[in-house]
Chains A and B, each alone.
Chain A
Amino acid sequence: MTGTIFDIKRFTVHDGPGVRVTAFLKGCPLACKWCHNPEGVDPAVGVASKTVRVGSTTFTSNESVGYEITPDALMCEFRKEKIFMDESGGGVTFSGGEPLMQTAFLVETLALCKKEKIHTAVDTSGFAAWDDVEAVRNFTDLFLYDLKIMDDALHKNYTGVSNRLILENLVCLLKTGARVRIRIPMIPGVTFTGENMEQTLAFLTELPFPVEGVDLLPYHNTATHKYKRLRIANPFEEMKSLSKNDLSATKQRFEAAGLNIINN
């Protein structure tokens, strides 16, 4: 069995507790217009050109976007970072793309992690069949669960899918006693609007089982170069990045409502 990933990042410090390694699984059922990992959307291995200048010559190489890897091979990469995880109370995080698009691979790798007592986190959009969520749950110590837009029409407009399954899965997941941190990408005018913030807040405070915390992710203009390299149109090209200060009022509002704001 193999999975398709497009990156492994070491010393990730915002994807859960401690120092972590994050594996990015390729393929995503959503099409968020602000996506900051556009190379992770297509489930298939792709190609992007890379150009460097050395001396007076320009070298262009076609580099593959993503590659196939077995759970064992991925474990070898994780093990290299074990000492840092142990020291910091860290672990591994599966992100993407949408990791639940490769549930079989994910479950097998997660199971191997648990066998070696490695802390696991899964960063998901929640847009997956419940059976897939349920299969992953047994081996996942922490879910990083994205919430974007509460208004379903807007959700469809900006992500291409309805949020109903996402919200239902979240409730079911919390019911099982899973540890869940909500992540909200704060996109000015899209997710980061007064209305959406109030709706999100209402939804979160009325949940029958509480979430562990909420992580407000300030929008960063990080993916512009990726769009260029992949030659994909970037609908958010003009959007400016946010600073922590831009979020402080929202943060206070959430805290006042009794929600724990995550400071990774």
Chain B
Amino acid sequence: MTPRIQQLREQSLNAINRISAERALLITEFYRDHLTPADAVPVQRAKSFEYILSNKTVCINDGELIVGERGPAPKATPTYPEITVHSLHDLDVLNSREKVWFRVDEETRNAYDKIIVPFWEGHSNRDRIMNAMTPQWHDAYNAGIFTEFMEQRAPGHTVAGYKIFRKGMLDIINDIEESMIDLSPVPSPQKSELEAMKIAANAMIRFAERHAEKLEALALVETNGQRRDELLEMARVCRRVPAHAPATFHEVLQHYWFVHLGVVTELNPWDSFNPGRLDQHLYPFYKAEIEAGTLTRDKAVELLESFWIKFNNHPSPPKIGVTAEESGTYTDFCLINLGGLTVGGNDAVNEMSYILLDVIEEMRLLQPGSMVQLSRQNPDSFIDRAVKITKTGFGQPSIFNTDAIIQELVNQGKTPEDARNGGASGCVESGAFGVESYILCGYFNLPKILEITLHDGYDLRTKKQIGLHTGKASELQTYQQLLAAFQKQVLHFAGIKIEGNNAIEQIFMANMPTPFLSLIIDDCVARGMDYIEGGARYNTNYIQGVGVGTITDSLTALKTHVYDEKNISLTDFTDALVANFEGHDDLLYRLLYKTPKYGNDDDRADDRLMEVFQIYYDAINGHVSPRGAEYRINLLPTTCHVYFGKVMHASPDGRRTGVPVSEGISPVQGADKNGPTSVVKSAAKIDHLHTGGTLLNQKFSPVFFEDDTAIRKVSSLVRSYFKMNGHHIQFNVVTADTLRKAQKHPEKYQGLIVRVAGYSDYFNDLGVELQNEIIRRTEHEGVKS
């Protein structure tokens, strides 16, 4: 790491997360003073975008090589009052809460009090949404059956494809004009949309020029000759991109960064934005310049690291309420993809893949997130290098199965070429990069629906009949009856969720088009249709199932004890759950220690998983939204498994009231007893190829990664899981500190695996002396950062 990068990295790490009112004030000024009511909505939006970019602070940080901030300074985070307007109370909560806080200064609070809140209160998109939702929707939402992503943020979850690395804004304006030729001169929605796109493209060119002007001004007063040359070169770059297609390595990075800023300034799409297959996009520029002798590897790394820091300067826009619960993190889920296959279907790993892995390891930043796509065609050296980085214990890069992703996308109707250009974004979501609008709609609480089922549709916590009457516990005489009742409730709530999302989508289509994002994603320009309107080549709405392990183990427990062994009635079982197992130690003991569990390659539990999967898949998959998107499922939680656990009583798997449900497709915390091979075999029984992504988390002690031979064995575990069509796996390499906590609270760490002496074992299964010994050893041999 060069001293410059070290300094920029420190600056980014030390910057205080705070709310900036700048964007909110500018958008308020625009709608109050500069709006032309006769303009079509997309044109109004494009002009508001232009107004922000023309007036926002141009921030150039000392020493940086890639320029442009979303706010006026690093980690000064803008707000989007047209989407959701924060109340003064919200600002106080954001300022003072213990986790994921944002500082709010007096000036910002005043601006909200005097200008922003009075103008937007009752008129934000969130207000429109909440007013449009049915009482049934509100009941289910309040009960914690599902969450809603678009409540505080705009539809996003999309990723740049090849186009933006090959075309400048002027090229895209040419494309817009070509699309306009075919249109009749009469005003039409397409015409307005294309005009709006053109305004947005020009606004972005102007925004880059403002940076060039500032850089030139700084160069004039710069006394250090080397920095002056850098500033002038940066100014040259900003005059060239993103107006023109990038020609150099420096230009391509700056080019993307302006595009990124455009997307996250226009609105606050969930999952910020993402350059996607970065090694593929950058390699041609790198190779050409290395061959021409105009770039060195060291210089390229410095530029990349300067680029990396820009992502870390952007915390996720502030979230409140349920949205903060479901995604309680500063991370904004930009997930850089490396490796995978070329469009022609061959190994795509190149020199840039390895350079970027070096950058990831050296930068060790929360953002951007990174992942490797692993195809069976990729070399072992690639996966080994990636696993070696996970050893440093910060969870990056995660590992994805390219061959499965491609199959998933092809199953959804994409061409093999578009599928191969795709990958995963956000947490684990599959998408065709550059050509798809794939929107996450919210989490769906599967274990909670079983709870509702056991109470004939009644929610004890909110004291309301929110589900269907599918029979009291005493009436569900067979396991098949129970499962059928559960299925009816899932269908019922899936229907409410989908209906809600269809209405929300129409609200966005009418009020919040995104002409800038539409420049980036094909075929919006060709069709003259907005990204949120169905302009993308492919459109998908994902609903993310949560609590797979908990629901599987719960159904297994009910089947085992109520229906097979008949040692307790469903009514008594339900009463014990309401009592949070108080006075039912015997039942709890049997549930925890004498009941099959998912994650052990045991069909007695894993068969239940397949039933749940099919029920959930059938309830969601294939519904079509107003913009023509197909609803599909994926299985991931972010932090929602904690929130979903909070709204639940005890569950039949032995989980106590309020405790988090299981995350992703990982087994219930502590339920897996046979080691990682059994976990991946159980997880592979899910039909991954009919999802849009699943998340499997596996904890390991760092000693599992101690040398190349050990790493090779971990890599082969990944390859095996992927052979079975697993979608994704990530390693949680645990530290001595975690082990100490595990010792104090073994019930929370039952799945923790450590290597003992030549074999692996569960930490919990070891005597306290051995635990102490391993804690000591881990500290001794542990993570060096």
Contacts and interface: CB of A to CB of B under 8 A. Distances in A.
Interface string A79-114: 011011011101000000000000000000000000
B674 A10 contact: yes
Given A10-B677, A225-B766, A88 B713 contact: yes
A264 interface: yes
Contacts of B719: 87
A243 B755 CA distance: 14
Contact of A11 (B592, B593, B717, B770): B717
A164 to B, nearest CB: 28
Given A12-B759, A52-B589, A263-B707, A19 B717 contact: yes
A15 to B, nearest CB: 6
B385 interface: no
A81 B588 CA distance: 32
Given A56-B585, A80-B601, A241-B773, A14 B768 contact: no
B756 A220 contact: yes
B174 interface: no
Nearest to B706: A244
A13 B755 contact: yes
A221 B586 CA distance: 35
Contacts of A229: 767
A222 B757 contact: yes
B299 interface: no
Contacts of A218: 757
A63 to B, nearest CB: 10
A225 B767 contact: yes
Interface string A14-44: 1100110010000000000000100000000
Given A18-B713, A224-B770, A241-B773, A57 B676 contact: no
Contacts of A14: 757-759
Tell me what chain A mostly uses at the interface: helix, strand, loop, or mixed.
mixed
Contacts of A220: 756-757, 773
A89 B717 CA distance: 12
Nearest to B767: A225
Contacts of B697: none
Interface in A225-264: 225-226, 228-229, 241, 243-244, 263-264
B96 interface: no
Interface string B649-676: 0000000000000000000000000111
A175 interface: no
Contact of A243 (B676, B713, B756, B781): B781
A88 B757 contact: no
A1 interface: no
Contacts of A15: 758-759
A243 B703 CA distance: 12
A162 to B, nearest CB: 27
A84 B769 contact: no
A264 B773 CA distance: 22
Given A220-B773, A241-B777, A13 B589 contact: no
Contacts of A52: 589, 593
B723 A83 contact: yes
Tell me what chain B mostly uses at the interface: helix, strand, loop, or mixed.
helix
A95 to B, nearest CB: 9
A13 B770 contact: no
Nearest to A15: B758
B735 interface: no
A23 to B, nearest CB: 12
A194 B452 CA distance: 70
Contacts of B720: 83-84, 86-88
A108 B704 CA distance: 33
B709 to A, nearest CB: 5
Interface in B722-777: 723-724, 755-761, 766-770, 773, 777
A36 B759 contact: no
B707 A9 contact: no
Interface in B550-585: 581-582, 584-585
Interface in A208-224: 217-218, 220-222, 224
A13 B773 contact: no
B712 interface: yes
Contact of B588 (A54, A217, A243, A263): A54
B36 interface: no
Contacts of A84: 677, 716-717, 720
A55 to B, nearest CB: 4
Interface in B497-517: none
Contacts, number: 114
Nearest to A89: B716
B766 A13 contact: no
B1 interface: no
Nearest to B589: A54
Contacts of A224: 767, 769-770
B768 A264 contact: no
B54 interface: no
A124 B767 CA distance: 26
B586 A57 contact: yes
A13 B592 contact: no
A225 B768 contact: yes
B681 interface: yes
B35 interface: no
Contacts of A12: 758-760
B678 interface: yes
Contact of A221 (B589, B681, B710, B770): B770
Contacts of A86: 720
Contacts of A57: 585-586, 589
Nearest to B760: A11
B784 interface: no
A14 B770 CA distance: 19
B590 to A, nearest CB: 9
B769 A225 contact: yes
Contacts of B463: none
Contacts of B589: 52, 54, 57, 59
B714 to A, nearest CB: 9
Nearest to A59: B589
A10 B588 contact: no
Contacts of B586: 57
B32 interface: no
Contacts of A55: 581-582, 584-585, 588
Contacts of B678: 10, 80
A19 B766 contact: no
A83 B593 CA distance: 29
A263 B758 CA distance: 11
B677 A19 contact: yes
B89 interface: no
Given A19-B717, A87-B716, A54 B592 contact: yes
B758 A264 contact: yes
A241 B719 CA distance: 34
Given A88-B712, A243-B777, A11 B677 contact: yes
Nearest to A264: B709
A12 to B, nearest CB: 5
A10 B674 CA distance: 7
28 contacts: A9-B760, A9-B761, A10-B678, A11-B760, A12-B758, A12-B760, A13-B710, A13-B755, A14-B757, A15-B758, A19-B677, A19-B713, A19-B716, A52-B593, A56-B585, A59-B585, A83-B720, A84-B677, A84-B717, A221-B769, A221-B770, A221-B773, A222-B756, A222-B757, A225-B767, A225-B768, A228-B767, A243-B777
Interface of B: 581-582, 584-586, 588-589, 592-593, 601, 674-678, 681, 704, 707, 709-710, 712-713, 716-717, 719-720, 723-724, 755-761, 766-770, 773, 777, 780-781
Interface of A: 9-15, 18-19, 22, 36, 52, 54-57, 59, 80-81, 83-84, 86-88, 90, 217-218, 220-222, 224-226, 228-229, 241, 243-244, 263-264
Q: Which 6 A-B pairs rank lowest in CB-CB distance, beginning with the nearest?
A: A225-B767, A14-B758, A88-B716, A55-B585, A57-B585, A220-B757
Given A14-B759, A36-B757, 6 more contacts: A13-B713, A54-B588, A84-B717, A86-B720, A221-B769, A229-B767
